[in-house]
Amino acid sequence: MAREGARGGVIAEVSPGSIAEEIGLEPGDVLEAVNGHPLRDVIDYRYYTAEEEMTLLIRRGGERFTVEIERDYGEELGITFTEIVFDGLRECNNRCPFCFVRQMPPGLRRALYVRDDDYRYSFLLGNFITLTNLTEEDWARLGEQRLSPLYVSIHSSDLALRRRLLGNPSAPDVMAQLRRLGEMGISVHGQIVIVPGLNDGEALQRTIADVAALWPTVQTLALVPVGLTRFHRGGLRPMTRDEARAVLDVARAFWQAHRAAWGCTWLYPSDELFLLAGEPLPPASFYDDPAQKENGVGLVRDLLEDWEAFKQRWRPPKTPHAVTLVCGTLIAPILDRLAAEFAALSGWSVRLVPVENRFFGETVTVSGLLTAEDVLAALEERDLGEWVALPRAMFGADGSQTLDGAPPAAFAERLGVPVILAETLRKALSPPRRRAR
**DSSP letters along 89-138, please?**
PPBP----TT-SGGGPPTTS-GGGG--B--HHHHHHH--EE-STT--HHH
At 434 the pLDDT is 54
**Looking at per-residue confidence, does 308 or 74 come out higher?**
308
**Looking at per-residue confidence, does 195 or 260 come out higher?**
195
CATH number for region 302-428? 3.40.50
Res 65 pLDDT > 80: yes
* Cβ(87)–Cβ(255) below 8 Å: no
At 48 the pLDDT is 94
Distance of alpha carbon 194 from alpha carbon 155, whole angstroms: 7
Q: CATH fold of 9-81, please?
A: Pdz3 Domain (2.30.42)
Tens-place pLDDT, residues 339-355: 999 999 899 999 999 99
**Looking at per-residue confidence, does 235 or 121 come out higher?**
121
Q: How much is the average pLDDT of 290-312? A: 93
Res 120 pLDDT > 70: yes
Res 316 pLDDT > 90: no
Instruction: Given CATH 1.20.120, say whether it is the number of domain 101-295.
Output: no
Question: Among positive and negative, which fits the CA dihedral 124, 150, 424, 370?
Answer: positive
Distance of alpha carbon 245 from alpha carbon 26, whole angstroms: 57
Domain ranges of the chain: 9-81, 101-295, 302-428
Q: pLDDT band at residue 304, thresholds of 50, 70 and 90?
A: very high
Q: pLDDT band at residue 317, thresholds of 50, 70 and 90?
A: confident
At 318 the pLDDT is 75
Tens-place pLDDT, residues 372-384: 999 999 999 899 9
State the average pLDDT for the chain: 92
Res 4 pLDDT > 70: no
Q: How much is the average pLDDT of 268-283? A: 96
Res 126 pLDDT > 50: yes
Q: Is the pTM of this model over 0.85?
A: yes
In percent, the amount of the chain with pLDDT more than 70 equals: 98
Q: pLDDT band at residue 437, thresholds of 50, 70 and 90?
A: very low
Distance of alpha carbon 163 from alpha carbon 115, whole angstroms: 18
* Cβ(159)–Cβ(207) below 8 Å: no
Res 276 pLDDT > 90: yes
At 190 the pLDDT is 98
Highest mean pLDDT among 114-123, 178-187, 417-426: 178-187
Strand, coil or helix: what is 291? helix
Distance of alpha carbon 366 from alpha carbon 162, whole angstroms: 26
Res 166 pLDDT > 70: yes
**Looking at per-residue confidence, does 313 or 226 come out higher?**
226
Res 314 pLDDT > 90: no
Distance of alpha carbon 57 from alpha carbon 143, whole angstroms: 26
